[in-house]
């Protein structure tokens, strides 16, 4: 989208998954969001410790809120410490976020690097056909420049589908796909819990 539309400043994805997390003798299940490295450019969350610009560049990087840091490490600033996902993959804490507000639409308090080969984003990238059939597996967020026209972008999305949905059988699928832009402040009305769980892929515009 950044290459096709000059008005798109940033675009990023989140793919939530419930996993087992373990640090030392403490273990629990939590939802994490596999995220592209530029997620914090699109979603301007407040940082408590660390550098969000580079926090998810490494494939073994993970970012927690202060609440989750206290839950798994017993303190607010465990940067450099490791935590295991599903008793298989060791991730290193690279940043800590301020706790998210209670009215956030985000379903997670933990963000892990989508560059990990075992991340849900990596799995979707390897199977584009499956990603199209299950668009709610990854939510796409875009940040527009102040001068960008949302209406012009919306009108250009059908052609965008035709150019980029390219895999065997794509012609049958692309005709049924509808891309819809939802302002981020309206997600509580239209998604992600309801609107995205249709045949539509619905990126959000902060």
CA–centroid distance for 62 within its chain:
13
Report pTM. 0.83
CA atoms within 13 Å, Cβ hemisphere of 74: 6
Residue 183: per-residue pLDDT: 84
Q: What angle do CA 79, 41, 188 make, to 5 degrees?
A: 100
Residue 204: per-residue pLDDT: 40
CA distance 87 to 164: 37
Residue 101: per-residue pLDDT: 87
Give the H/E segment covering residue 155: helix 150-164
Short-list 99, 106, 104, 139, CA closest to 121 = 139
Residue 65: per-residue pLDDT: 97
pLDDT digits (tens, 9 = 90+) for 16-46: 999 999 999 999 999 999 999 999 999 989 9
Contact 31/111 with Cβ under 8 angstroms?
no
* Percent of residues in the chain assigned helix, strand, coil, to nearest 5: 25, 30, 40
Residue 194: per-residue pLDDT: 37
Q: Report the Cα–Cα distance between both ends of the chain, in Å, rounded.
A: 15
Residue 8 in tokens = 């798109």
- pLDDT tens, the chain, 206 aa long: 889 999 999 999 999 999 999 999 999 999 999 999 999 999 989 999 999 999 999 999 999 999 999 999 999 999 999 999 999 999 999 999 999 988 888 888 999 999 999 999 998 888 766 555 555 578 889 999 999 998 899 899 888 888 877 666 656 555 567 778 888 877 765 554 433 332 233 334 33
Give the H/E segment covering residue 126: helix 120-126
CA-CA distances (angstroms) from residue 158 to 109, 130, 131, 191, 195? 34, 20, 18, 21, 19
For β-strands 89-97 and 61-65, DSSP reports them as parallel
**Phi, psi angle pair for 186, to nearest 5°:** -105, 5
Residue 115 in tokens = 């560059």
Residue 179: per-residue pLDDT: 77
């Amino acid at each position: 989208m950044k290459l096709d539309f000059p008005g798109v400043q940033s675009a990023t994805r989140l793919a939530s998954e419930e996993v087992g997390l373990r640090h030392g003798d403490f273990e629990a299940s939590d939802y994490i969001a596999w995220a592209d490295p530029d997620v914090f450019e699109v979603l301007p969350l407040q940082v408590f410790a660390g550098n969000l610009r580079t926090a998810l560049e490494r494939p073994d990087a993970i970012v927690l809120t202060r609440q989750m840091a206290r839950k798994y490490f017993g303190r607010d600033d465990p940067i450099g410490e490791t935590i295991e996902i599903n008793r298989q993959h060791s991730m290193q804490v690279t940043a800590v976020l301020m706790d998210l507000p209670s009215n956030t639409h985000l379903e997670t308090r933990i963000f892990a690097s989508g560059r990990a080969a075992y991340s849900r984003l990596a799995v979707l990238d390897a199977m584009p056909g499956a990603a199209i059939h299950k668009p709610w597996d990854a939510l796409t967020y875009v940040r527009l420049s102040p001068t960008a026209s949302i209406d012009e972008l919306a009108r250009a999305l059908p052609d965008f589908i035709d150019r980029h949905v390219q895999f065997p059988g794509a012609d049958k699928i692309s005709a049924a796909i509808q891309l819809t832009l939802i302002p981020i402040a309206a997600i509580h009305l239209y998604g992600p819990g309801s609107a995205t769980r249709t045949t539509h892929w619905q990126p959000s515009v902060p």
